[in-house]
Amino acid sequence: MSPVAETSAIPSTLAEPVPAPGETQVKAPEAGEVPPRTEGASGVGPALPLPELPPEGKAWVWVESEPPGAMVVVDGVPVGRTPRRVELDVTLQGFARQTNTIRVRFVAESARETSVTTELVLTPRDRVPALLQFTRERVVRRQ
């Protein structure tokens, strides 16, 4: 038998790269599949999901809070608890199409605490951020 015939008889599973000892092999995602992530790019906190692209004229803002579980209200409409994705109207350049008010309500967990609402107003002069991190005292925007 010739060497060419021998190599062509190797099963395709053996021809694929094999991870070195101690390494793990990562499976490529299927079309439209979101690969799982276990840690944020900064190495701190949960990773943001890698979603498909938003519809044209829309932007997605990931809203987080410390502590998590705070109520998110966009333009007076409750949309759920943090962490969550919020969809806003934007221009082609990524600026807010209209004024949007995003409030996060931290509900008191004991009689010694008070409930607090932290607010951010995005105007048409503001570029819509990818991430908003709310605490009881402030809001941090991240692109």
What is the tally of helices (H) and strands (E) in the chain? 2, 8
Q: Does residue 12 lie within any of the structural domains?
A: no
Q: Does residue 19 lie within any of the structural domains?
A: no
Q: Does residue 72 lie within any of the structural domains?
A: yes
Q: Does residue 52 lie within any of the structural domains?
A: no
Q: Does residue 39 lie within any of the structural domains?
A: no
pLDDT score, position 109: 87
Contact 102/60 with Cβ under 8 angstroms?
Answer: no
Classify each residue of 48-83 as buried b or exposed e, where b means 16 or more C-beta atoms within 10 Å of its C-beta: beeeeeeeeeebbbbbbbeeeebbbbbeeeeeeebb
**Count of domains observed in the chain:** 1
What length does the chain have?
143
Residue-number span of the structural domain to which 94 is assigned: 58-142
Q: Does residue 36 lie within any of the structural domains?
A: no
Short-list 75, 49, 70, 56, CA closest to 131: 49
Name 74's Cβ contacts closer than 8 Å, sequence gap at least 6. 86, 88, 100, 101, 102, 103
Q: Does residue 88 lie within any of the structural domains?
A: yes
C-alpha span between 66 and 83 (Å, rounded) = 10
Q: Does residue 7 lie within any of the structural domains?
A: no
Local confidence pLDDT in tens for the 143 residues of the chain:
544 444 444 444 444 455 555 555 555 555 444 445 444 455 555 666 655 788 889 999 999 999 999 999 999 999 999 999 999 999 999 999 999 999 999 999 899 989 999 999 999 999 999 999 999 999 999 98
